[in-house]
A and B are shown apart, each in its own frame.
Chain A
Amino acid sequence: MEQILRQTWAFVFRDYHLTRRYMSWVVVFTFYAVVNSATIALIGVAAGDRRLTLTLLVGVLLWNFLSVLFQEIANSITYERWEGTLEYTFMAPVSRLTHLAGVSLYNLVYSVARSLVIIGGLMLFIDLDLSRANLWGALVVLMVSSMAFMGLGLMAAALPVLSPERGAEATNIFQGILLLVSGVYYPVEVLPGWLRPLAAVSPATYALSASRKLIGIEGAEMTDGVPLSAVTYELTVLAVMGVVMIPLGLYVFGLVERWAKRTGKLKRTG
């Protein structure tokens, strides 16, 4: 057990120091995220509509958190291929579960920290009155939905093993589709009928729906945030998605890894 914890820590240690060494880029990307979030939320301020402002804020914050979590896990293998270290990671006596758990753990903490900075930045632009919101409930939704996004990230992380460049491209397209169909800034009902079935399978749809209810912006009028028990359906769907997608992500990754070892695709690129 101690060995597994130390191996998990290896990935947290590595990613922490990589973040530290690339701090100027982290600052630049976070600055852009704050500005981007503010410009979206200010649309609601300009319309003089508090409910719209909060809807946009919830969308932008949740999307920032979940997309960065997904993207960082998905790209972790791409980074290793660029650096040429993937072969060394794969020949270490570490199970893939420990490897990907370590990567996911660091990125979960990183995404939370980044979201807190974005919230802090938004407070400079917008008067955030969340006194009627169930913020603890929203935090629970965030954590439960993280599981499903980790599973999606693990599946996407297998793509760069298949093809480094094409894999990174596919990850971006997949992320774009999630943004489109999940109703991040609008209700999914406004989507064309042929796209709506995709909304039903996106974990972000349920995370957003539950968050809006907990913040008190689900209906036409602003209300008090609902208790956690009122979003049991969304939480159940998210939990089931997490329970299914994490093992599925590991399984898909394992299949691709075995294929890469048969065909010789693990070699350095970039």
Chain B
Amino acid sequence: MSHQGIEVRRLHKHFSKRRGLLRRRGATVHALKDISFSVGRGETYGLLGPNGSGKSTLIRVLSTLLVPDAGEVRLLGHRLPGEEQAVRSKIGRVSADAAFYKKLSARENLLYSAYLYGMEKAPAERRALEILEALGLEGEKFTDPLEEMSRGMQQKVAITRALLVNPPLLLLDEPTTGLDPKSRRDVQTFLENLRSEHGTTILLTSHDMAETERLCPRIGFIAGGRLVAEGTADELKRLSNSASLDDAFISLAGEKLGEGGNGKAKGAERDAEPVEA
């Protein structure tokens, strides 16, 4: 049995886009370039990068929603591509965009998800209410349509959906984006408890430095589809002679976290191996 929760080796992914009036001009976007890293079982690993840096693409590859062009992925010992079905039963995913049937209630959305994973109704409802309570959402909201809930409440339901089946591996793609400070703290505390009590392996992508520093013993900087550096927060700061993680990112990745979207980070254009702090 592999000791690693996540092992990614030399992962590549590109997308072809058609442009122009007749869509004849082709362009290639390299979303992931030679990404390698590993996360131990029960570890929380943070991936920091601006919009368009490749974080969501990486999460989609690990969620079996994208097939990589090259490279090797192992999740809890299961290989991708190849063992998708085994991986799917062991992962939970939360994205920044809480995607639900908005007309349905939290209960209906969560029961639908529970049935998809083969859970029975009574234990699923019990577990859902437990998680929602731990996240600070009152039980009476359980039967309200999602469209009547705030963005923060919807995100808490999304986190509940991901945790309903107790997955040993969580893929969190900017899970606290758009949440108010209180909700953000509720979610962060819950994730800390989850790791300490259940030993859940967590991959957290974010552009929130404070959150990543609080939750993740190890952090990777991703820019322009490349993993440009990784280490503990202190190591990354020391390596870049920076006082804050923000400055460390600018120094090592060559761009600010709030920027990006064009995949042309200065630091990312280097062909060098990621800096290990």
Contacts and interface: CB of A to CB of B under 8 A. Distances in A.
Given A91-B64, A261-B66, A18 B101 contact: yes
Size bracket, chain A contacts: 20 to 34
Contacts of A87: 60, 63, 65, 95, 99
Given A83-B99, A87-B65, A93 B115 contact: no
Interface in B83-134: 85, 88-89, 91, 93, 95, 97, 99-104, 108, 111-113, 115-120
A264 interface: yes
A10 interface: yes
Interface-central residue, A14, A18, A22, A88, by most chain B CB under 10 Å: A88
Interface stretch (A1-9, A58-66, A209-217): A1-9
Contacts of A263: 15-16
A264 B111 contact: no
Contacts of A94: 116
Contact of A83 (B101, B108, B111): B101
A13 interface: yes
Interface residues of B, number: 34
Given A21-B104, A85-B100, A262 B67 contact: yes
A25 to B, nearest CB: 11
B12 to A, nearest CB: 13
B145 interface: yes
B67 A91 contact: no
A93 B99 contact: no
A258 B116 contact: no
B88 A92 contact: yes
Contacts of B118: 2-3, 6-7, 93
Interface in A44-93: 83-85, 87-93
B101 A93 contact: no
Nearest to B86: A93
A268 interface: yes
B84 to A, nearest CB: 9
A260 to B, nearest CB: 9
Q: Which 5 A-B pairs have the closest CB atoms?
A: A84-B99, A10-B115, A3-B118, A21-B103, A92-B116
11 contacts: A6-B118, A13-B111, A13-B112, A17-B101, A17-B104, A21-B145, A83-B101, A88-B93, A93-B88, A93-B118, A266-B66
Interface of A: 2-3, 6-7, 9-10, 13-14, 17-18, 21-22, 83-85, 87-95, 258, 261-264, 266, 268
